[in-house]
Amino acid sequence: LKRMGLKAEGYKFTSESKKMLIESLMMAFEQKKIRIFDDPTQKNELEIFEFRRNPSGIIHYSAPDGYHDDCVIALALANWRLQNKGIEPRITRL
């Protein structure tokens, strides 16, 4: 993206940062601050996304084995950006 002249920001994924992203996204859905397109891939990923608690009690969020969570993570990153940078959402057709 940067080579194309677009602004891009890195995000360091750790168990804790992913947990924060996903819990922020869940809160946005609960508070009706976010809506999604009627996209079957995104809808499926959101429906099957799950959490697992390991023996030490730490929660890990992910798609089930053999499935993807790219759309969920992209949506969570977009939500995080909106919540933390004060940017007004907009729809851009590509």
pLDDT value at position 8? 78
Q: What is the mean pLDDT of residues 4-27?
A: 89
CATH number at residue 46: 3.30.420.240
pLDDT value at position 74? 94
Tell me the average pLDDT of the chain: 88
Highest mean pLDDT among 5-9, 69-73, 89-93: 69-73
Residue 72 falls inside a structural domain: yes
Model confidence over 16-44: pLDDT tens digits?
Answer: 899 999 999 999 999 998 888 889 999 99
Q: What is the mean pLDDT of residues 68-83?
A: 92
pLDDT value at position 45? 96
Collapsing DSSP to helix, strand or coil, 62 comes out as strand
Range of the domain at 64: 12-85
Structure tokens given for 79: 């939500």
Residue 4 falls inside a structural domain: no
Collapsing DSSP to helix, strand or coil, 45 comes out as helix
Dist CA 18 CA 3 (whole Å): 27
Q: In sequence order, which residues have a C-beta less than 8 Å from that of residue 79 and are 6 or more positions away?
A: 21, 24, 25, 28, 34
CA distances from 53 to 1, 17, 18, 19, 62 (A): 35, 16, 14, 12, 11
Question: Is it the case that residue 94 has pLDDT exceeding 70?
Answer: no
**In total, how many domains does the chain have?**
1
